[in-house]
């Protein structure tokens, strides 16, 4: 870092970032320091928290990183004595921790099958068997669509009856997750990206959540031209509608990037929530951050596995943070809070630790795994992303990158993983491959990457393939 006329500047690769000119900086506070959105992924790649730590060192002023669920990096830094760990052993106003319950969706699904088989068996003996049979099947189908356990529904009803407010979290927007043809099996995918298009009921559109491409939902299957298209999966839109059908007396609103984009909608909804004009708020990540509404006494997570099953070494950490965040939304007032987490993986350590709200136990296990698998904070990783329009050329460059990096590999020093297609292989008509490199130390990794660039850059440029190196990547997709 350097100063220019009293302004702090920091070099990131060939470019530099200038900090706002604040003289006599006395204290820096980074709240929710674990939040992944501090990492800038576009243009100059940097982590705002890490820059703040650098700025504090440079300005010789103290810095406080605050979080109920510190990132594994920051926690490891406190164990290494680089940071001082200060624990808050009491909650604000000595409020009790919310009571967290786990619902095992595997058991719920088995019970639902038993119930519906039983109903069908009895129904077939009665005279109006067909109708009863149909409704039992209908109930089962809707359970399959949105996993709402009887425990969760009972809790929502009880909370509504006692005048409490609820928030229900689901990390996927839209109505159906995708449209599939029952005749030929075709799934409607984005023409630019290797992901399925999400069906939105409000305007009967299909939308790509990666590139924004959208169109009217087709009536016939574009592949076989048959009328077999059927919605599969679920998002917040369908969740809100299903809850509205089950509880017509409840005032239900939905907050996600589809609804909050409408002018003033977010502000209006927050005001209504505060005024207790909303009984149940359904939403994505947006409803987990910084909410402090004393009337909210029940918080629910519809499917905790969604974050857990991401192909990312941080998925357990993110799941723990997310569940803890959601749990923290309930019981901020006089009445104690209740939290319900639905999952198909009730025994996963991140979910069990979130249930007990035991950060220490979670982080011990997590750090052990990271050490064994040579992941941060015990190693540095870099992701070389290789992108281009021509799939063959992208693949060829990716292979060259891996081969060149492979020459520097040693079992204990540097490890090279890949080349492999990125988990989302194509975004905005560009094919994406990746090579990951892990290293105990930063310096040899930087040298290996610089050597690779010198060797491969010219081939990549000739082939119109773009190489990007992300050191300490936050997202692996």
User: Which residues would be at the binding site for Zn ion (CB under 5 A)?
Assistant: 181, 183-184, 186, 190, 192-193, 208, 210-211, 213, 221, 223-224
DSSP 204-272: TEEE-TTT--EEEPPSS-TTT--S-EEEES--HHHHHHHHHHH-TTS-EEEESTTTTTSTTHHHHHHHH
Question: Residue 196 Cβ, how far from Zn ion at the closest point, in Å?
Answer: 10
186 or 205: CB nearest Zn ion:
186
Distance in Å, CB of 446 to Zn ion, minimum: 34
Based on CB atoms, which residue is closest to Zn ion, 186 or 257? 186
Distance CA 192, CA 58 (A): 45
Which CB atom, from 205 or from 213, has the smaller least distance to Zn ion?
Answer: 213
Q: Give the residue with the Cβ less far from Zn ion, 221 or 456.
A: 221
**Pick 211 or 409: Cβ nearer Zn ion:** 211
Question: 163 CB contacts (<8 Å, ≥6 apart)?
Answer: none
Q: Answer for the pair 353, 365: CB distance below 8 angstroms, yes or no.
A: yes
Q: How many CB atoms lie within 10 A of CB 200?
A: 20
Residue among 343, 355, 352 at smallest CA distance from 147: 343
- Min dist CB 234 to Zn ion, Å, is 20
When the beta carbons of 184 and 420 are compared against Zn ion, the nearer one is 184
- Report the nearest approach of Zn ion to the CB of residue 427 (Å): 7
**Shorter beta-carbon distance to Zn ion: residue 137 or 182:** 182
Contact 300, 340 (CB under 8 A): yes
CB of 179 to Zn ion, least distance (A): 10
- Prior bond to 419 cis, omega within 30? yes
Report the b/e string of 21-30 with b at 16+ CB within 10 A. Answer: eeeebeebeb
In whole angstroms, give the CA distance from residue 215 to residue 213: 7
H-type helices in 93-174, by residue range? 105-125, 129-145, 150-161
Q: Which is nearer to Zn ion, 32 or 223 (CB)?
A: 223
**φ, ψ (nearest 5 deg) of residue 116:** -70, -35
Q: Contact at 8 Å (CB) between 212 and 195? A: no
Distance CA 430, CA 385 (A): 12
Q: How far is the CB of 219 from Zn ion (least distance, A)?
A: 12
Instruction: With beta carbons less than 8 A apart as the criterion, state whether 395 and 419 touch.
Output: yes
Helix axes 359-372, 349-356, angle to 10 degrees: 160
**3-state SS class at 200:** strand
In the complex, least distance from residue 237 CB atom to Zn ion, rounded to whole angstroms: 19
Q: What is the CA radius of gyration of the chain?
A: 25
Min dist CB 223 to Zn ion, Å, is 5
User: For Zn ion, which is the closer residue by CB, 103 or 193?
Assistant: 193
State the nearest-atom distance from the C-beta of 12 to Zn ion, in Å. Answer: 29
Min dist. Cβ of residue 373 to Zn ion (A): 32
Is 224 or 458 the residue whose CB approaches Zn ion more closely?
224
> In what order do the strands lie in the sheet containing 198-200?
198-200, 205-207, 214-216
CB of 261 to Zn ion, least distance (A): 18
Cα 99 to the chain's mean position, in Å? 24
At 385, give phi and psi (nearest 5°): -100, 130
288 alpha carbon, distance to own chain's centre: 12
H-state helical runs in 312-441 = 315-327, 349-356, 359-372, 391-406
Minimum CB distance to Zn ion smaller for 184 or for 477: 184
């Amino acid at each position: 870092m350097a100063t220019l006329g009293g302004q702090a500047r920091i070099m990131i690769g060939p470019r530099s970032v200038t900090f706002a000119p604040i003289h006599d900086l006395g204290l820096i506070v980074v709240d929710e320091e674990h939040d992944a959105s501090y990492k800038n992924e576009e243009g100059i790649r940097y982590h705002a928290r890490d820059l703040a730590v650098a700025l504090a060192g440079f300005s010789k002023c103290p810095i406080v990183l605050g979080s109920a669920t510190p990132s594994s990096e920051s926690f490891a830094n406190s164990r290494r004595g680089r940071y001082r760990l200060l624990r808050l052993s009491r909650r604000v106003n000595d409020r009790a921790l919310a009571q967290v319950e786990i619902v095992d969706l595997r058991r719920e699904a088995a019970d639902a099958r038993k119930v519906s088989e039983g109903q069908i068996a009895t129904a077939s003996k009665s005279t109006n068997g067909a109708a009863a049979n149909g409704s039992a099947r209908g109930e089962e189908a809707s359970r399959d669509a949105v996993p709402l356990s009887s425990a969760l529904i009972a809790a929502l009803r009880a909370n509504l009856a006692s005048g409490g407010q609820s928030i229900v979290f689901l990390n996927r927007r839209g109505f159906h997750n995708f449209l599939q043809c029952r005749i030929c099996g075709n799934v409607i995918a984005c023409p630019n990206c290797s992901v399925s298009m999400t069906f939105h009921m409000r305007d009967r559109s299909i939308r790509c959540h990666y590139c924004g491409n959208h169109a009217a939902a087709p009536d016939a299957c574009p592949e076989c031209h048959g009328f077999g298209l059927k919605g599969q999966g679920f998002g917040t839109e369908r969740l809100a509608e299903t809850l509205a059908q089950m509880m017509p007396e409840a005032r239900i609103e939905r907050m996600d990037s589809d609804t909050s984009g409408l002018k003033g909608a977010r502000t209006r909804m927050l005001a209504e929530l505060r005024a207790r004009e909303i009984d149940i708020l359904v939403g994505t990540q947006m409803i987990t951050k910084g909410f402090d509404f004393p009337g909210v006494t029940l918080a629910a997570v519809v499917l905790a596995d969604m974050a857990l099953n991401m192909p990312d070494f941080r998925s357990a950490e993110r799941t723990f943070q997310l569940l803890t965040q959601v749990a923290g939304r309930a019981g901020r007032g006089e009445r104690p809070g209740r939290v319900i987490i639905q999952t198909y993986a009730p025994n996963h350590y991140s979910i069990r630790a979130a249930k007990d709200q035991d950060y220490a136990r979670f982080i011990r296990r997590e750090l052990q795994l990271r050490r064994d698998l040579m992941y941060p904070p015990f190693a540095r990783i870099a992701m070389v992303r290789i992108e281009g329009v021509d799939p063959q050329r992208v693949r060829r460059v990716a292979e060259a990158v891996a081969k060149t990096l492979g020459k520097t590999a040693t079992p204990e020093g540097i490890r090279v993983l890949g080349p492999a297609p990125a988990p989302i292989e194509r975004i905005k008509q560009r094919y994406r491959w990746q090579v990951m490199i892990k290293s105990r130390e930063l310096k040899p990794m930087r040298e290996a990457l610089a050597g690779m660039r010198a060797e491969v850059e010219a081939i990549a440029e000739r082939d119109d393939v773009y190489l990007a190196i992300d050191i300490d990547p936050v997202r692996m997709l």
